[in-house]
Amino acid sequence: MSQGFIVLGHGSKVAETIGILEDITDLLRKRLKIGKVRYAALQFNEPDLPGVIADMSRDGVTEIVILPLFLVDGNHVREDIPGIIRQEQSKHPSIKIRLANHIGADVRITDILVDRIMGLVDNKSDEGDLKMIAPEKIEEESFKIIEESVDLDDLDSGEKAVITRMLHASGDLSLADAVVISNGAIDSGVKALKEGRPVVADVNMVATGISRRLAALHNNKILCKVDDMAVTADAKKLGSTRSAVAMRSLAAHIEGGIVAIGNAPTALAELLKIVEEGSPRPALVIGTPVGFVGAAESKESLMRSGLNYISIRGTRGGSALAVAAVNAILKLATTDDR
């Protein structure tokens, strides 16, 4: 399968603004290290979406993912773009065309706005200026907002604690509808930690974010080998990802432990393969890989695997959410009598 991506912007009567789409596409192409990333404008500018789809068809692309640069799901996202996709799908039946989620209320947008604000104000304590707020007060107020905004009353205390931490980490209240926790998953994770089982992480960002202080209380080791030189060499030799090879290299440590995968769909796929091959099963898998390629599919496979899991449906996810779930369970393991 040959996959291509189209960054779709609204377009503008000011022709020069197409340069923003060009820059975003170029950055995305470099970040993903793949060549088949193009941009298109919905209105006013060239190239338009049908034209780029036709170009990709001629280039032998068999699956196209359209990435809409739209903040809200207005008429363009709900009607116009799906309508164009239906028309183009009929013209190019051999190509699978998928529409990714619009941007929405993503916490990373807030990060950008915070950077803008901090560049325009000083931190004086005079009336009207921004004031420093104690971190514990920020967290307390955040949890209060979550409690008032999201109905978690039907969940048990452990599930509520985990989901609250994940919502806090993401800054996205709508994520509550996407988080999925299997029956008994929290109890199994707490028990594993109390028994001193390790936490295996797919990437350093997950491993680094896990609370060493809480992990030390039950001597839980935090394991990650993604930067191991032997893993890097094997990944290159096998044509695989470092995360997948690192996960297999830690297969001997997953029995009865927690596996936290926040970034790499290939690591989650490799873990499921390891278990299918008959290796001992982890007590809990926290699977929240993020992205448009393989992430949603790997998480659906996890949910069908029969393993205990905490996951997120769709393309959303990330290391911060995996860390939040692990830390929530670590905290439960210090206070919970189950």
Tens of pLDDT, residue by residue over 103-141, are 887 656 766 776 666 656 554 444 455 555 566 667 777
Cβ atoms of 295 and 8 closer than 8 Å? no
Q: What is the rounded distance in angstroms from the CA atom of residue 7 to the CA atom of residue 10?
A: 10
Helix, strand or coil, per DSSP, at residue 259: strand
Tens of pLDDT, residue by residue over 55-104, are 999 999 999 999 999 998 889 999 999 999 999 999 999 999 999 988 88
Cβ atoms of 176 and 164 closer than 8 Å? no
On whether both 208 and 70 belong to a single domain, the answer is no
Residue 44 belongs to a domain: yes
On whether both 158 and 79 belong to a single domain, the answer is no
Residue 144 belongs to a domain: no
On whether both 94 and 158 belong to a single domain, the answer is no
Residues known to be catalytic:
168
Into how many domains does the chain fold? 2
Residue 218 belongs to a domain: yes
Q: Tell me the residue range of the domain where 48 lies.
A: 3-99
**99, 124, 141: which is the final residue of a domain?**
99
Residue 229 belongs to a domain: yes
On whether both 72 and 216 belong to a single domain, the answer is no
On whether both 290 and 183 belong to a single domain, the answer is yes
Which CATH number do you get for residue 72?
3.40.50.1400
On whether both 155 and 94 belong to a single domain, the answer is no
On whether both 8 and 76 belong to a single domain, the answer is yes
Read off the DSSP letter of residue 173. G
Which CATH number do you get for residue 197?
3.40.50.10230
**72, 99, 126: which is the final residue of a domain?**
99
Q: What does pTM read for this prediction?
A: 0.62
Helix, strand or coil, per DSSP, at residue 9: strand
- pLDDT (tens place) for every residue of the chain, 338 residues total: 789 999 999 998 887 778 889 989 988 888 777 889 999 999 999 999 999 999 999 999 999 999 999 998 889 999 999 999 999 999 999 999 999 988 887 656 766 776 666 656 554 444 455 555 566 667 777 788 888 888 888 888 899 999 999 998 888 888 888 999 999 999 999 999 999 999 999 999 999 999 999 999 999 999 999 988 999 999 999 999 999 999 999 999 999 999 999 999 999 999 999 999 998 899 999 999 988 888 999 999 999 999 999 999 998 899 999 999 999 999 999 885 44
On whether both 178 and 246 belong to a single domain, the answer is yes
**99, 132, 158: which is the final residue of a domain?**
99
Cβ atoms of 197 and 333 closer than 8 Å? no
Tokens encoding 5: 């991506």
